[in-house]
Each structure stands twice: as structure tokens, then as C-alpha cells.
């Protein structure tokens, strides 16, 4: 292309496969100025120099450099990152890669867990092994306070204590009220951990004995409707001749931490039977 060749911003946009909006943004950032601006019409013109500079910008962006970093590089005229800057980008990339790998592992665990739940019939009889749990007992105002309690208080405290939870994760609650209460619910939250830890003011560690036979039932919906599932579960127990043999647990699969719609919250009611 001749040095005398001038491309209007629209033509340049088409050839370089970049939007006019992006070109104007680069100009505002001081990254890519037109070769010429007509003082009468305001038309912007570009040439081969801008094409080469735009390619440099894109190449640096693909390697994770920010526009501010690119601006500094181009201002220095080097167009090539220093060894220190490259080292920094490599470290940042490795950290991001580790985060993505951790996220992938967690997503795979959730997917496996969901597949197991979907395969499970509405009612099933299972056994629960002996486990170690991190436990927190508190009187909460109502069921709506349970999600924030787990996410905002118990979770961070367990993280601070260095708790490690075996996949795919098992957490549940046990109610200690002797009768139904719509408010001021005495509830204990338990989450399985790999080993006993040192108790804190909020979290205590304990070992729970195995339960040889448990009736499990899926509950879909908000916690305020647990009574519907308990009614159905006890009707099933009566039909099959089972009797309750311990405090029921409510195990949480999907909730406020990963589902905005309460109708999509999935819990498993576990009732010890004989």
C-alpha cells in the first residue's frame, strides 16, 4: 500500500476487523491515533503505520497485557515487554491457570454429585458412615437466615481454621427444638471434614457414629416447605412399616450459594429408621 494511501475510519475498521467504537476507544486511551484528521470534516484517516501498531496492540492483548501496560510499552517505543514484565505475566498466568483448574475440579464434583442425586429415586434406603464434622449451633430467626449464616459466618470461619472437606461435600442441619417453631429455631449446622481440628468460639469438631439405615427423600423448594416432604416421608414409612430411630438430618445440595430461585433449591431429608 502506498504511503499516500489513506483509509477512512470505516474502511480501516473493515479491513482490520475491529469496530469503530474500539478504534475511538484506543484513540481516547492514547494508544492508536489516526495518521490524519481533516480539520474541516473531522474525518479520520489511517495508513500502514496504524495497521502495524494495531497488530502490535492485539498481540500484546492476547498475551494478557492491559491497555495501560501496552500504552507504556508503546510510549517507550520498545514494543517488546521487558524480562521482568514477562516474568510477572507468567506468574499471573500460572495463578489464573490454577484458579481455573480448581474451578474445573469443583464443577466436576458438583456435576458428579448432581448425577448421583438425579439417579436416586424419590425415596431410597441408605446407610451413613461414621464421619467427622465441623459443627455450629445457633438459634436463628427463621429458615431464611440459614443461607446467610452458612455463607457469611460458618464458611469463612471453617476456611480460617483450615478445614478440608472430602468431595463431593456433605453438609446438613439438625433441629434441636422439641416442638415446631416458626421463629427462634435452635439449629445445628454440620459439615463433613477430613480430620478433627481445634475448636473455636464458633465451630466445634466432633465425631458422629454411623447410622445403619436411613430413609432419604429429595426435597425441591424453599426450606419453609420442609413440612410437605416430611409428611410424604412419614406416610411412606408407615406404608412400609418403618419407625423413626433418631434425629432427622436435612442435607443441602443446591441453595442460596448457587441458585437464586428458591424453587430450584435441592435438599435431601435423611431420617434414621428401624
Question: In CATH, what number is assigned to the domain containing residue 43?
Answer: 1.10.1660.10
Encode pLDDT of 233-242 as tens digits. Answer: 888 888 889 8
Q: What is the rounded average pLDDT of the residues 177-183?
A: 71
Averaged pLDDT of the chain: 83
> Which pLDDT does position 204 carry in this prediction?
92
In the block, residue with C-alpha cell 473455636 = 200
Residues 177 and 157 in one domain: yes
Of the ranges 91-100, 173-182, 251-260, which is most confident?
91-100
> Does 109 have pLDDT greater than 80?
no
pLDDT at 181 exceeding the cut of 70: no
State whether 103 and 168 are in the same domain: no
What CATH number did the domain enclosing 235 receive? 3.20.80.10
Tell me: do 18 and 96 sit in the same domain. Answer: no
What's the pLDDT band for 205 if we cut at 50, 70, 90?
A: very high
Is 151 in contact with 232 (CB distance < 8 Å)? no
Within a domain: residue 40? yes
Confidence band for 61, pLDDT divided at 50, 70 and 90:
confident
Same domain, residue pair 97 and 175: no
Question: Do 139 and 115 belong to one domain?
Answer: no
**Total domains in the fold of the chain:** 3
| 154 shares its domain with 256 | yes
Contact 177, 185 (CB under 8 A): yes
> What is the layout of strands, in order, in the sheet containing 44-46?
7-8, 44-46, 36-37
Residue, of 168 and 3, whose pLDDT is higher: 168
Question: Looking at residue 113, what is its pLDDT?
Answer: 59
What is the C-alpha separation between 217 and 172, in angstroms, rounded? Answer: 14
pLDDT of residue 98: 87
pTM over 0.85: no
Is 130 in the same domain as 265?
yes
User: Residues 67, 168: one domain?
Assistant: no
Amino acid at each position: 500500500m502506498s504511503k499516500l494511501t489513506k483509509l477512512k475510519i470505516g474502511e480501516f475498521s473493515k479491513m482490520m476487523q475491529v469496530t469503530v467504537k474500539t478504534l475511538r476507544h484506543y484513540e481516547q486511551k492514547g494508544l492508536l491515533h489516526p495518521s490524519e484528521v481533516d480539520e474541516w470534516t473531522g474525518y479520520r484517516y489511517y495508513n500502514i503505520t496504524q495497521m502495524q501498531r494495531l497488530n502490535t496492540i492485539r498481540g500484546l492483548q492476547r498475551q494478557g497485557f492491559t491497555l495501560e501496560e501496552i500504552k507504556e510499552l508503546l510510549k517507550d517505543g520498545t514494543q517488546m515487554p521487558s524480562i521482568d514484565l514477562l516474568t510477572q505475566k507468567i506468574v499471573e498466568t500460572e495463578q489464573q491457570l490454577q484458579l481455573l483448574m480448581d474451578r474445573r475440579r469443583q464443577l466436576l464434583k458438583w456435576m458428579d454429585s448432581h448425577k448421583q442425586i438425579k439417579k436416586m429415586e424419590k425415596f431410597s434406603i441408605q446407610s451413613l458412615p461414621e464421619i467427622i464434622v465441623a459443627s455450629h449451633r445457633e438459634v436463628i430467626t427463621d429458615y431464611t437466615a440459614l443461607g446467610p449464616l452458612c455463607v457469611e459466618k460458618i464458611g469463612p470461619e471453617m476456611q480460617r481454621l483450615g478445614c478440608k472437606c472430602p468431595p463431593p461435600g456433605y453438609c446438613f442441619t439438625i433441629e434441636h427444638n422439641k416442638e415446631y417453631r416458626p421463629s427462634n429455631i435452635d439449629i445445628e449446622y454440620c459439615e463433613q471434614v477430613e480430620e478433627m481440628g481445634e475448636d473455636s468460639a464458633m465451630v466445634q469438631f466432633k465425631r458422629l457414629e454411623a447410622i445403619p439405615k436411613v430413609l432419604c427423600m429429595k426435597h425441591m423448594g424453599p426450606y419453609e416447605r420442609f413440612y410437605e416432604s416430611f409428611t410424604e416421608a412419614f406416610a411412606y414409612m408407615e406404608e412400609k412399616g418403618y419407625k423413626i430411630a433418631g434425629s432427622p438430618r436435612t442435607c443441602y445440595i443446591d441453595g442460596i450459594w448457587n441458585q437464586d430461585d428458591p424453587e430450584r433449591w435441592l435438599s435431601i431429608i435423611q431420617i434414621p429408621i428401624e
